Amino acid sequence: MFPIGNDFYNDDVHGFTTSGTPQDVFPDWSNSFTLGLNAIRWCVDYTLSKGVKIDLITVYSNHDRDKLWYLSKCLELIYEGNENVTLDYQRIHFKFYEYGKCMLSFTHGDKAKTNDFHNIMASLQPEMWGRTKHRSMWLGHFHSSRQYKYLNHEDRRGVELHYMRAMSNPDTWHYSNGYVGIPKSCTAHIIDKEKGIIGNWIETF
């Protein structure tokens, strides 16, 4: 499972997010979109070259809701007819998947409060909640407003929350607000159908 989005782009051609926060964008909006599409496509093609199926999950965010839809449509056309690639780009805030005894959820995390996520999972998917034992949610929003965090994950009444770090350099806005000093990294989680998360692979840039 490969989540894409979580502030991958910025929407506005004038240097603002979807929510209106000023951001530096380099290169310009058209070239950055193309570079982003090529980067995701490289990841998918590499995965397929290893004989592995891949599920792409679009996680819409407050920086780039519109561009993420365009990105997803491009990917849908590129891999149309490829049975080894699935793409979930529904424009909903919470996405849920059942894998053995595991309940996996993805959201950006800019709307609901952290203390409510376990209740949201149980309320929106009560049957899946009841069938599963290991429940995890992945969020991306705090890669900026929690760049000072010492917290990589936390347990919330039956749900383990994972905050994904950013892989980009801080722009002027983040730098001036002190969101600096945290390593850029990407994490892959190894999930067992019966035991839940059994390992992590962290790549730091």
Residue 140 φ then ψ, to 5°: -125, -15
* pLDDT computed for residue 173 by the predictor: 60
Predicted local confidence at residue 152, as pLDDT:
45
Span 150-175, mean pLDDT? 66
- When pLDDT is cut at 50, 70 and 90, the band that residue 112 belongs to is confident
Higher pLDDT, 156 or 163: 163
The number of helix segments (H) and strand segments (E) in the chain equals 6, 10
Average pLDDT score over residue span 108-120: 82
Average pLDDT, the chain: 83
The pLDDT of 101-105, averaged and rounded, is 97
Residue 47 has pLDDT above 80, yes or no: yes
- In the prediction, which pLDDT does 127 show? 97
Among 101, 163, 116, 112, residue whose Cα is nearest residue 137: 163
**pLDDT computed for residue 38 by the predictor:** 96
Closest CA relative to residue 169, chosen from 177, 179, 159, 155: 179
Phi, psi (degrees; rounded to nearest 5) at 93: -80, -30
Measured CA to CA, the distance from residue 171 to residue 173 in angstroms comes to: 6
Least confident of 17-26, 79-88, 114-123: 17-26
